[in-house]
Structure 1
Amino acid sequence: MEAETVAGTQRNEENKWERPPSSYGSMKTDSDDDVDVEVDVEVDVEVIPACVSLSPVAQPQAAAQENAGLQICRSDSPDTLYTTTSQQTKPPGAVLIDTRSPDLDDLSENDEEIMQDVVVASSPEPCGAPPDETNQLYDNCHTGRLHAEQDLPHVFKTIQNIVDRLTIEERCNFLLLLRQHKGLTLQQAMEGDSLDIVDRILENFGQDDSLVFTIRALENIKKKTEATELQNQCRRALIRSQLKEYFIRKYKIIREGVVQPGKLRRLDDVYVEPQISVYDHGGVVALHERSPHPPSPLRGFSGDTFVGVNDLFRLRNSDGGLVRTALTTGIPGIGKTVSVRKFCLDWAEKRSNKDLQFVITLSFRDLWFLRSSGSATQKMSIMEVIGFFYPECKGIKYLEEEDCKFLIIMDSFDCYKAPLDWENTPVIKDNHTRAHTDVLIVNVIRGTVLSGARVWILGRHAAVSQIPCQYIDVVTEIQGFSDEMKDDYFTKRFHDEELARKIVTHYKRLPMLIALARQPFVCWVVATVFERYYRCRSYGLHPPRLTPFYINVLIYQTNRRLQIYDGKGADDLKWFSEDKQLLLNMGKMAFKMLERKTRVFYEADMNEFGLKLTEVAVFSGICTEELLTADTDGRRTFRFIHFSFQEFMAALYVFIVFRCDSQNVLGSSMLAKLFKPKDQIKSTQSLVQCAVERTLWPPLGHYDMFLRFLCGLLSPQCHNKLLCGFFYPHNIPKISGLAEAQRVLEKAIETAQGKNSDGVENLVECLREMTQEDA
């Protein structure tokens, strides 16, 4: 035994370029007839888990093979990254076969089936703790296993078979192209056999791009037949690669607001995954600074309520089966579309859901465009629709195979403006049957078209509520950021740690802003406004108060409505009279709700103020349907995205009417008209006085935040700089009497001293809003 060990050591010293066995084959070539093989049957084969991070060894030593139990010497050729790491990721139980053995050419069909069972193709998920086996939220069958035609062994063997058929001259030209693309030396490009060539291609280009390079290289050396053959044999992998490239190109960069040159951000640099609850926990946040006990308290959360965005299709439905159709909803600005982008990017970059062969996005916005286009009268099949948006998938046959696991993502359900007839729409059970777009959508959600697909639907509450529950396996709702997530977002967004610290410190001065910032969109508004103040204007001494943020949220959501639902471009976002009137009517409704002491409204209330349900609850971006409250009469219940936003819209209505029409809505009572002159009622001083009286009179403080927002709107910084150009022109006369209005607040503070500490505190905050200063 000792003699054998010494002999083995001597052989290793003589051959310095020994190479570890590859999971693609025994690494044997036609010139390896004299290769010595040692097999120690007493030593078990030990496979290194895929999660263990190991660096590839350029010149492996004999000690590295002690635990393998199988040692194969290679010719003097350099090691490559793919050869080394492929051995590390070989799953337990995998058998090493010789992919270059001439004996494989003589295999019968039965022998090939046996070999299919021998070769194990596994692409495990990224490192991390596996889900708890006892947790029924997860599907334990999701091992991250790819289809055999998309996994690395198939790609490796197919490219290798093509390279083996090249003549010496063709192989030299092929290697010269490889050298040009990756800057290799001539020696590096020319040394080694066909197995080394494929290894080097995979090492330099990766699994996906290696196919594209090989096909183009074959075409360049006039081997179009071989290029077509490779394309056909690996078409499933090529389509997957093209979809990944599309998602990376489209979602790698996040476009926030108006994109400015040189200020693009990578999605991974700013993305913080929001909390996603299962089975509709949550809704409108109940936290309110001036109303500690709001009506209809909402259910709380538990630790097992939430699910990660990449784990949605590891959930189980109520019957314990795998989820086929998942519905994700949430209030406007909560991060639904960004979550879709992150899901697609993680899949494209092989960070999650590797077992999904294809991911295809068919947003309802695109489907509505298709329906509204000139070709809407022409009926299409679902396969033609997919081919229309994804030319690389045109005529794809794999989606109809039973072993094809793929996902269809249908985002922005609220963008599809046509009503869908869920009861009378004809049933289609064939993917090639042509039908109207409405019919196709209903049948996809039913599961009769693309029956093998997993379907992910996203949309706002009021829009998705029309989908019958029997077609949905699981309902999830994005709840937004926790307090820790908000801080994490600001920390990730700004590389300047001092700037991030200042922004976090200042936004936390305002409790209502903390509550509203659970929406990722509001966090972006906060970051943008504060960054502008600190960097561009150097306003670090007096950072903005509460009202400017609410104005920015309203303006951005209205502009977004014009872009998404009305189809206007970024340079054509002028507000017309109907846009302004819509917001004023919503503000008037909010003001009447404040007077009636209610937080919810119904469709009848919208009709009372000349509003349409879709305009308010779906398109506006500042209202939502409340799915948790059940009216005794069965009526649908709606709210503003936050309780404080209702008070802001009420204050905005009062301010715009005062600013544009010189009317004091608060002083329109008969007593005010009898005891005060008409001119005095229309003054800024009188407006603030009426608001203060309303604030101090009710015991529950229903008008506290209303007064604070009204005072903020009276600030020149808000009404002259932020609102000008939207609700009224820039040349409108300035508001006078602001000094007298401040004295009204100061006098009210002196009067309330010692009587109502909460009221005094709120009045002080109102004064700060009017001056936009902390002093």
Structure 2
Amino acid sequence: MDPDTEVQSILRQEGENHAEEKEKWKRPPSSYGSMRSDSEDEEEEEEEEMMTERGYAEGNVNEAFPSACPVPPADLPSNEGPGFRLNRSDSPETLYTMTTMQSKPPGAVVIASRSSDIEADSDLEEDEDADELLVTNSPEPPEPVEFNETMQMDEHGQPGILHPEQDLPHIFKSIQDTVSALAKEELFKFKMWFYQWESNITLPHVMDGDILDFVDKIIEILGMDRSLFHTLTTLESIGKKEVAEELRIKCKRALFRAHLKQYLTRKYHVIREGVVRAGRQNLLNTVYVEPEMFTCGYGRMDPSHEQRPVTVNNLYRLQKADGTPARTVVTTGIPGIGMSVSVGKFCLDWAEMRANKDLQFIVKLSFRSLWILRNKNPPQEMSIKEMVEYYHPECKDFLYLEDESCKFAVIMDSFDCYQASLDWENARVINDNHTKAHPDTLIVNIIRGNVLPGAWVWILGRSAAVSQIPSNFIDVVTEIQGFSDENKDVYLRKRFNNRLAAQIVAHYKQLPTLRALAYQPFVCWMLATVFERCFQLQGYGEHPPRLTVFYTSIVIVQTNRKLQFYQGKAENELKWSSDDRNQLSNIGKMAFKMLERRTTEFSEEDVKECGLKLTEVTVFSGLCTELPTAASDGRRRFCFVHPTIQDFMAALYVFMMFRTESKNVLDSRASKIFASKDQTKSAVGLVQCALARTSNSTAGQYDMFLRFLCGILSPTCHDNQLSRYLFCHNTPKLRVDEVQRLLEQEIRTALGSDQDQDRAENLRECLRELTQEDE
């Protein structure tokens, strides 16, 4: 036999043996109920016959008990009758039956410990063999195993132990005790309400078995949270409000967790990308690809600091330098790097119990919401307790936050949305959760650790914004650095079928610049959105994509986000004002000056020189970020999120000055206004000046600038993309045929020289940006 064939045969045989053994140990369908013997099946058949005779069959129940108010019949069954058995021992909980099943030797028989079963099978006591079988193969349920955090790990390798009051045994026992205390008529009515209002619950589920079976079945079908919620509402519906309140108090910690899980699931289950389209929503878990994240020294990225990778779900496990758990973790990154999506993934994994199960609560306090609260008229003072209840009204009397042993997280994202200056040194100290104060004061005290001292605090924001937080209040700083080359492809393949994903991946990789920029998840989303639409066109993909349309979209989207997030405008109010246009023009002016100085960094003085505010450029624009503070001078330095963004903004500034003010800032004659009317309406003179700068630059710093300028002059860009934002629709159209002839002539000239082959290639790209119309 061939060796490979033999190995496959052996593995196949082992798999079959394993499957047979697994089938022997397989549990019944119920995930929580007790093991059932053959005698119980016979007893259930007898019970069904008795139910049919008494009129309790499903066909008669719907006639006898209308859905609005079910009424029990006069001849209610006794405890031993069909439907309910209340005299079962309380000891065999779910954990016991699971452990019993796992400890049962192959071939053994496990007899359920109901007293009625023992009485029904009393004839077994006369059979010595049967008695021996019970003693040998049906052991008593063992004591529950107490796991510690180092023993029980979840799928992410993290401790995953729920608090005892939030775990299954407590919920199971609480519902069981509550329902068992009901009178016969109340119990019947309770079960019928459950049956009528829960489509997944059938009549046999509520009528067969005893109380333990009933609770077992509803938890198996509905889950812990929904079973608890429905038990409470059903008790109130049948007039047992006091009993419902007792159960609510007993399971208060679990109810708070369930409410928060519902809120976070609703908020993050579906990822919102761009304009919402009906039927085109994507589930976060389906499209999410985790960006690379690293720990770094405070003050943003320190090149001398050793980077350590960290995943989103492990942020809660980070430690300070002395090995103690970190309380305050700051996460930063450039605009569009995926901070908001990472928050959503962390919260959704916790809500769906995939990670960090030992966190009892996650309280979300967005700085954007706090900013809206701060600007209410008149200003409203709150305590921490009132603030949590304000955003989570279901969690009234949320006293667990004061418990030092309570593990919970406070997530405060979008720090850059809170535009007020915080007084870190002189803010009033608050030492309890009940003292009312201004939102500014509460935020400072949360970060200081004066209030909610037991909380793990996660703060997210752009670098220039979070840099105002004093370093002594922060334990660990992490930075999201975007997608690796592999993650870019994985992201696109997750969104589309194999063929379309392969087309998109191969298409965008034709341009090294676009491939490099796609490390931002925001750009990857844009690639997916644009190319999905483009590949529906016949013949698309024959030529490489153009760059300018993507960079134009980046500026438009980031400006619209600024209007939404920082100015509070709705989606139907995203009309750019003259101030918005002037701000973009001034940012482009600064980028153009940096291009002339051959630098990619700017300072606060450079920002002021162009008539801008530092926050507008480094935070609100979404186009710039803060660099690590140099150890030598300590001055704050900034840059555009990518060097090509700087080139594009410089080209956009030159185009805006030409289009709106008829100025050629590239002209060596100190930006004079064109002399003749014909010159003001022609773009060829503008491109001629740009070509002169490109040819005179040996370092090639104007190559991308020229390419973007030609792309912006393309009718596809300035007429279709920019016209409704930067100028009116009725503005006279540009004539670019002369520019096309100029570029063709320059290409022929460059090809005639062996030393200008690179220049010829760049000019071809400029011509393609100007004339290609496949987008």
TM-score for both structures, normalised by structure 1: 0.81
Deviations 1:434-493 (A, max 9, x none): 111111100100001100100000000100000011111100001111111111111111
Q: Partner residue of 1:403?
A: 405
Amino acid at match of 2:649: M
In structure 2, C-alpha distance between the alignment counterparts of 1:331 and 1:617, rounded to whole Å: 10
Is 1:523 matched up with 2:540? no
Count of residue pairs brought into register by the alignment: 672
In structure 2, C-alpha distance between the alignment counterparts of 1:220 and 1:576, rounded to whole Å: 56
Conserved 8 A contact 1:415-1:564:
yes
Q: Offset of 1:701 from its aligned partner?
A: 0.5
Q: Partner residue of 1:203?
A: 220
Alignment of 1:7-406 (within 5 A): 31=87, 65-66=104-105, 71-74=110-113, 96=142, 128=155, 130=157, 143-180=159-196, 181-279=198-296, 299=303, 305-376=308-379, 378-406=380-408
In structure 2, C-alpha distance between the alignment counterparts of 1:605 and 1:677, rounded to whole Å: 34
Shifted more, 519-528 versus 574-583: the winner is 519-528
Structure 1 pair 469/675, CA: closer, same or farther in 2 (3 Å)? closer
Q: Partner residue of 1:725?
A: 724
Deviations 1:19-75 (A, max 9, x none): 9xxxxxxxx986569x9x9xxxxxxx99999xxxxxxx9xx8xx9821799954245
Q: Partner residue of 1:748?
A: 746
Structure 1 pair 656/488, CA: closer, same or farther in 2 (3 Å)? same
Shifted more, 408-417 versus 117-126: the winner is 117-126
Q: Partner residue of 1:5?
A: none
In structure 1, C-alpha distance between the alignment counterparts of 2:682 and 2:479, rounded to whole Å: 46
In structure 2, C-alpha distance between the alignment counterparts of 1:363 and 1:666, rounded to whole Å: 45
In structure 2, C-alpha distance between the alignment counterparts of 1:521 and 1:259, rounded to whole Å: 16
Structure 1 pair 331/395, CA: closer, same or farther in 2 (3 Å)? same
Is 1:643 matched up with 2:650? no
Q: Offset of 1:146 from its aligned partner?
A: 1.6
Deviations 1:631-678 (A, max 9, x none): 7432210111111000000000001111122221111436x9899989
Conserved 8 A contact 2:562-2:621:
yes
DSSP-derived class of the 2:165 partner: coil
Q: Offset of 1:532 from its aligned partner?
A: 2.4
In structure 1, C-alpha distance between the alignment counterparts of 2:366 and 2:409, rounded to whole Å: 13
Amino acid at match of 1:705: M
Q: Partner residue of 1:633?
A: 633
Q: Partner residue of 2:715?
A: 716
Amino acid at match of 1:178: F
Amino acid at match of 2:169: P
Conserved 8 A contact 2:448-2:473:
yes
Conserved 8 A contact 1:364-1:412:
yes
Q: Offset of 1:762 from its aligned partner?
A: 1.4
Shifted more, 739-748 versus 475-484: the winner is 739-748
Conserved 8 A contact 2:295-2:478:
yes
In structure 2, C-alpha distance between the alignment counterparts of 1:529 and 1:459, rounded to whole Å: 28
Q: Offset of 1:358 from its aligned partner?
A: 0.3
DSSP-derived class of the 2:572 partner: coil
Amino acid at match of 1:655: F
Structure 1 pair 697/632, CA: closer, same or farther in 2 (3 Å)? farther
Shifted more, 526-535 versus 385-394: the winner is 526-535
Is 1:688 matched up with 2:727? no
Deviations 1:264-322 (A, max 9, x none): 221112111111111169989xxxxxxxxxxxxx95998x7211101001111111110
Alignment of 1:449-488 (within 5 A): 449-488=451-490
In structure 1, C-alpha distance between the alignment counterparts of 2:686 and 2:425, rounded to whole Å: 54
Amino acid at match of 1:238: L
Q: Partner residue of 1:739?
A: 737
Amino acid at match of 2:209: G
TM-score for both structures, normalised by structure 2: 0.81
Amino acid at match of 1:305: R
Conserved 8 A contact 1:126-1:352:
no
Shifted more, 726-735 versus 764-773: the winner is 764-773
Conserved 8 A contact 1:125-1:351:
no
In structure 2, C-alpha distance between the alignment counterparts of 1:217 and 1:14, rounded to whole Å: 33
Structure 1 pair 468/67, CA: closer, same or farther in 2 (3 Å)? farther
Structure 1 pair 64/443, CA: closer, same or farther in 2 (3 Å)? closer
Unmatched tracts of structure 1, length 5 or more:
1-10, 20-27, 38-44, 50-56, 78-93, 98-116, 131-141, 285-297
Shifted more, 142-151 versus 466-475: the winner is 142-151
Conserved 8 A contact 2:367-2:417:
yes
In structure 2, C-alpha distance between the alignment counterparts of 1:372 and 1:46, rounded to whole Å: 55
DSSP-derived class of the 1:755 partner: helix
Q: Partner residue of 1:491?
A: 493
DSSP-derived class of the 2:755 partner: coil
Q: Offset of 1:680 from its aligned partner?
A: 5.0
Q: Offset of 1:353 from its aligned partner?
A: 0.7
In structure 1, C-alpha distance between the alignment counterparts of 2:707 and 2:630, rounded to whole Å: 32
Conserved 8 A contact 2:155-2:354:
no
In structure 1, C-alpha distance between the alignment counterparts of 2:486 and 2:241, rounded to whole Å: 57
Shifted more, 431-440 versus 579-588: the winner is 431-440
Conserved 8 A contact 1:360-1:409:
yes
Amino acid at match of 1:470: N
Structure 1 pair 68/743, CA: closer, same or farther in 2 (3 Å)? same
In structure 2, C-alpha distance between the alignment counterparts of 1:184 and 1:123, rounded to whole Å: 38
Amino acid at match of 2:641: I
Identity, in percent, stands at: 54
Q: Partner residue of 1:8?
A: none
Deviations 1:207-254 (A, max 9, x none): 111110100111112111111100111011001001101111111111
In structure 1, C-alpha distance between the alignment counterparts of 2:528 and 2:332, rounded to whole Å: 25
Structure 1 pair 747/252, CA: closer, same or farther in 2 (3 Å)? same
Unmatched tracts of structure 2, length 5 or more:
1-35, 45-83, 118-139
In structure 2, C-alpha distance between the alignment counterparts of 1:584 and 1:391, rounded to whole Å: 45
In structure 2, C-alpha distance between the alignment counterparts of 1:537 and 1:369, rounded to whole Å: 48
Q: Partner residue of 2:21?
A: none
DSSP-derived class of the 1:535 partner: coil
Structure 1 pair 673/164, CA: closer, same or farther in 2 (3 Å)? closer
Q: Partner residue of 1:415?
A: 417
Shifted more, 66-75 versus 221-230: the winner is 66-75
Structure 1 pair 515/193, CA: closer, same or farther in 2 (3 Å)? same
Amino acid at match of 1:769: E
Shifted more, 177-186 versus 722-731: the winner is 177-186
Deviations 1:750-769 (A, max 9, x none): 22231133222211111111
Deviations 1:510-546 (A, max 9, x none): 1111111111111111111222222378745556400
Q: Offset of 1:200 from its aligned partner?
A: 1.1
Structure 1 pair 69/450, CA: closer, same or farther in 2 (3 Å)? farther
In structure 1, C-alpha distance between the alignment counterparts of 2:236 and 2:164, rounded to whole Å: 26
Shifted more, 512-521 versus 329-338: the winner is 512-521
Conserved 8 A contact 1:281-1:299:
no
